[in-house]
A and B are shown apart, each in its own frame.
Chain A
Amino acid sequence: MIRQFVVVIVTAFLVAGAAFAVAVDEKPLPDPVLEAQARSLMKEIRCLVCQNQSIEDSNADLARDLRAIVRERVALGDTPDNVRAYLVDRYGDWVLLKPPFNPSTYLLWASPLLALVALALLLFRRQQKNETRQAAMAPLSDSEKAELDKLLEGEQ
């Protein structure tokens, strides 16, 4: 929902720039297979000036240039990994909407399973503990009950 706020604060210089900058005519690649590949790549690349959208979604000038680069690279026969590497080489891991799998993100990628196991253990073990506690308090036999009644009466 917040994207447009971002658009609002999009650094004033680029907005101003877009109006005068040379318009880039956007042509899809003639080969539909390559175009589809390029498009799916664009969805994975974060727009640099609009913060939280992909270059596929963005009207920003720089996003358009990057789309053109992605198309060019794909048309030249680069694999998706090559294209990603090309952009990471210039802008860092930050441009990848899908964080890379490396030591600093192991924790992130494992978090769904880790959190799941931790919470499951927490909740089910708590229940189990409750069960054992209840089992320890087995129902009283008749004689025990009578004795308890006597004790309680004595207290009153």
Chain B
Amino acid sequence: MAGEIGHFSLIWVLVAAAIGAVLPQIGAVKGDTRLMQLADRTAYVQFLMALAAFAALTYAFLVSDFSVSNVAANSHTLKPLLYKISGVWGNHEGSLLLWVLILTLFATLVSWRGAKLPLRFRARVLSVQSLLVFGFVSFILLTSNPFLRFDPAPFEGNGLNPLLQDPGLAFHPPMLYLGYVGLSVSFSFAIAALLEGEVTPLWARWVRPWTLLAWVFLTGGIALGSWWAYYELGWGGWWFWDPVENASFMPWLAATALLHSAIVVEKRDALKSWTVLLAIIAFSFSLLGTFLVRSGILTSVHAFAVDPERGVFILAFLAIVIGGSMALYAWRAPKMVPSGLFGIVSRESALVVNNIFLSTFAAVVLIGTLYPLFVEASGAGQITVGPPFFEYAAAVLMSPLVVALGIGPLLAWKRGKLPKAMQIVLPALVVALIAGLALVWSQSGGVVMTAFGLGLAVWLLTAVFAEIASRIKLWQSPGNAFGRLRKITRAQWGMSIAHAGLAVIILGVTVSEAFTDEQLLVMAPGDSTMVAGHTFTFDGVAPVAGPNYSAVRGFFTVAEGDDFVTTLLPEDRVYSNPVMNTTEAAIYPLFTGDLYAVIGEAAGGNRWSVRLYFKPMISALWAGALMMMIGGLLSLSDRRLRLGLPTGRKKIAVKESV
């Protein structure tokens, strides 16, 4: 029954999306208020119906209704409750349904929080959003319907991929999707602006909070994914430049650039067509990720079933959405005439520099991800573009950005106070720096890069504090400095904390890469070894039975000198449905870093191959990501940045500095 309700609700979403995509747009052209108002109503209907469909599928998973083929293929009665729920989105069909649910949720939020947006503009935004919903729901109904029936129903399901049976991964996809799909709002705002033929500082004020919200989720989603990879995959890595990871990183880079360029639009009424383009690109990257994951054209990609029919459908849908918006951009961009001016050395210019580097990096990640396809298509054989290339690109492109990031917030709006000569020197300096870096990277061993990474992190942290100090005039009049501290707006705190978060991440990356101590060895019970000043003693193994797996658990006692530190219990699990082997690393976080133990396979004679690590400051990676999220949320909570807030405060906006 639940299956039919879900299927039926989904058809309603489709109908409402079709109406919501077409009629309000006609209304906007003809100036018909009634048609335009339909946009809000259809948005609510889509959301409620999508919610019903999602609830129906979740119910089917909860009660293990194996007559629904999707449940039979991805669930199992013995599975713990949490993973019955996360199983809903742990597969191709269900994850698409989640995507649609979030898409309609955001449309509803825009309708609700954006009640003060001009009706015509809101109608256009919502109709673009409906169009996206229409595309995704047709995709689900035509090629990937989760509500199809199995007759007769099997007695037992196939079970969920054991690697997905993990709390970190249960919440990673929803978080990531909130980010991906959140960017659809920025996209719809951009398309609406192109249709209207005008981008104003006000537009930037509307679009920025939505981008910020999506960005916070995206940051969280990526961080969760990398954290999960770190503790679940068992070799202590946390980022692999895998195509699917890159697919989540590209929209993040574009969204980060968009957050910054929108400020220039808001303040100076410049950089308008670029900002609109970025909004389109950010969401296009999200869509591209979906395509890469599901089309099977790149290796390594997800276990989502590869089906050529689906690939062609998504490709066609992408061609319409992305190609269509780029065509619209080509047609309308000349209308976006900038009016504001700013000097070469100014905060605005610094934001432009930020945009150049972030967008270049996003472009290079795209090039690196797709380059093997390009080479193979051109008949020049098969190559791999792996971490060394991306690390080179990151070093060459991100280090100048970090240097500029330290200076940027210190520059005045519109016109900086650097002497004229410096204005000329500065760009030259940046270029020289890049060239120097490229050279250092290609020549150096680890030591130079480590020193360099540490230098960058310290530079950025210092610059953040210097900026706060100068804001409160700490050096000029220390007496009143504390009072001024309270005058710093949340948006400003948000910026400082997010920037400091980046510094913390750089610190974590550099230190953990450079000073990790690792031992790969075969141990027998009673053996002990030293890892970074800690004695790991192997006490043997014992079999363990879990609800749907059996495991070999290793016992390690860790001591520092004579002091007992902890017991580490890594497991090597074999799941029963489906049969699969996973490693569960044992991690004990110390203040200075993580103790990390993995038990491998038996090496005969009661000896086991093990991997033992000490990863210094690795937690800084996630702490830094958390700081970025907190910074984003703080900024979002700023009165002047709230989602869809007042329309008529342009003057204040220009006066106050962010």
Assess A/B contact in the complex (Cβ within 8 A): yes
On A, residues with C-beta under 8 Å from B are 1-9, 15, 23, 25-28, 44, 46, 51-54, 56-57, 59, 92-100, 104-105, 108-109, 111-113, 115-116, 119-120, 123-124, 126-127, 130-131, 134
Beta-carbon contact of B580 and A8 below 8 Å: yes
CB distance from B271 to the nearest CB of A (A): 8
Chain B residues whose CB sits within 8 angstroms of the CB of A23 once the complex forms: 601-604
Closest CB-CB distance, B268 to chain A, in whole Å? Answer: 10
B520 at the interface (CB under 8 A from A): yes
Q: Which of A3, A105, A116 contacts B383 (CB 8 A)?
A: A105
When the two chains form the complex, which single residue of B242, B388, B393 contacts A1, counting CB atoms closer than 8 Å?
B242
9 contacts between A and B (CB under 8 A): A9-B303, A26-B520, A26-B522, A28-B521, A57-B235, A96-B386, A108-B367, A111-B393, A123-B274
CA distance A100 to B226 in the complex (A): 28
Nearest to A9 among chain B residues (CB) is: B303
Q: Could you say which of A5, A116, A126, A134 contacts B303, with CB atoms under 8 Å apart? A: A5
Cα A123 to Cα B301 in complex, Å, equals 35
The verdict on B356 contacting chain A, using a C-beta distance below 8 Å, is: yes
B258-303, CB < 8 A from A: 270-271, 274, 299-303
Q: Check: B508 CB closer than 8 A to any chain A CB.
A: no
Q: Which residues of B contact A (CB under 8 A)?
A: 161, 163, 172, 225-226, 228-229, 232-233, 235, 237, 240, 242-245, 270-271, 274, 299-303, 338-339, 341-342, 352, 355-357, 359-361, 363-364, 367-368, 371, 375, 378, 380-389, 392-393, 396-397, 434, 438, 520-522, 580-583, 600-604, 609
Q: Give the residues in chain B near A93, CB-CB below 8 Å.
A: 381-384
CB distance from B392 to the nearest CB of A (A): 8
Q: Is B397 within 8 A of A112, CB to CB?
A: yes
Measured CB to CB, the nearest residue on chain A to B169 is: A1
Chain A residues whose C-beta falls within 8 Å of the C-beta of B360 in the assembled complex = 112, 115-116, 119
Known A-B contacts A8-B580, A123-B274; A108 and B368 likewise in contact (beta carbons under 8 Å)? yes
Specify which chain B residues have a CB less than 8 angstroms from the CB of A7 in the assembled complex: 163
Docked pose: A4 CA to B235 CA in angstroms: 12
Docked complex Cα distance between A44 and B232 (Å): 22
Return chain B residues, CB-CB under 8 Å to A131: 341
Whole-angstrom CA separation of A67 from B341 in the bound complex = 59
Contact for B388 among A27, A44, A59, CB less than 8 A: A44
Chain A residue with Cβ nearest B304: A5
Contact B386 A5 (CB under 8 A): no
Centre residue among A27, A95, A99, A116 by max chain B CB count within 10 A: A116
Residues on B with C-beta less than 8 A from A27 are: 522
How far is B384's CA from A54's CA once the two chains are assembled, in angstroms?
11
Which residues of the other chain, B, contact A94 by a CB distance below 8 angstroms? 381-384
Instruction: Give the distance in Å from the alpha carbon of A126 to the alpha carbon of B334 in the complex.
Output: 12
Closest to B359 in A: A119
Chain B residues within 8 Å of A109, by CB:
389, 392
CB pair B387–A2 under 8 Å, yes or no, is no
List 15 other contacts, CB 8 Å, given A4-B233, A126-B271, A127-B342: A9-B303, A23-B601, A23-B603, A26-B522, A53-B240, A57-B237, A93-B383, A93-B384, A97-B386, A105-B371, A113-B396, A113-B438, A119-B356, A119-B360, A123-B355
B522 touches A52 (CB 8 A): no
Does B601 contact A59, Cβ atoms closer than 8 Å?
Answer: yes
Q: How far is the CA of A110 from the CA of B378 in the complex (A)?
A: 18
Instruction: Return chain B residues, CB-CB under 8 Å to A112.
Output: 360-361, 364, 392-393, 396-397
The docked-state distance in angstroms from the alpha carbon of A116 to that of B396 is 10
Contact of B161 among A5, A113, A134 (CB under 8 A): A5
- Contact assessment for A108 and B385 in the assembled complex, using a CB-CB cutoff below 8 Å: yes
Closest CB in chain A relative to B27 CB, distance in Å: 32
Partner of B242, one of A2, A98, A111, A130: A2
List residues of chain B with CB within 8 A of the CB of A96.
Answer: 383-384, 386
8 Å CB contact of A2 from B301, B339, B396: B301
Establish whether residues A111 and B240, one from each chain, have CB atoms under 8 Å apart when the complex forms.
no
Known: A93-B384, A104-B378, A116-B356. Contact between A8 and B601, CB under 8 A?
Answer: no
From known contacts A2-B300, A8-B161, A126-B274, infer whether A116 and B600 are also in contact, taking CB-CB under 8 Å. no
**Residue of B whose beta carbon sits closest to that of A67:** B520
Compute how far the CA of A46 lies from the CA of B396 in the bound complex, rounded to whole angstroms.
24
A129 to B368, CA, bound (A): 32
Contact at A4–B237, with CB atoms within 8 Å? no
Q: Are B384 and A1 in contact (CB under 8 A)?
A: no
Min CB–CB distance B446 → chain A (angstroms): 10
Determine if A2 and B389 form an interchain contact, defined as CB atoms under 8 angstroms apart: no
Are B242 and A92 in contact, CB atoms less than 8 angstroms apart?
Answer: no
Q: What's the Cα separation between A15 and B271 when bound, in Å?
A: 54
B244 — which chain A residues lie within 8 A by C-beta? 1-2
Contact A116 B434, beta carbon cutoff 8 Å: yes
- Whether the pair B388, A115 counts as a contact (CB closer than 8 A) is no
Are A8 and B274 in contact (CB-based, < 8 A)?
no
CA A96 to CA B237, docked complex, whole Å: 19
Give Cα A104–Cα B385 distance, bound, in whole angstroms.
12
Whether B375 contacts A130 by the Cβ 8 Å rule is: no
A51, B300: Cβ atoms under 8 Å? yes
Q: Given known contacts A26-B522, A57-B237, is B580 in contact with A3 (CB within 8 Å)?
A: no
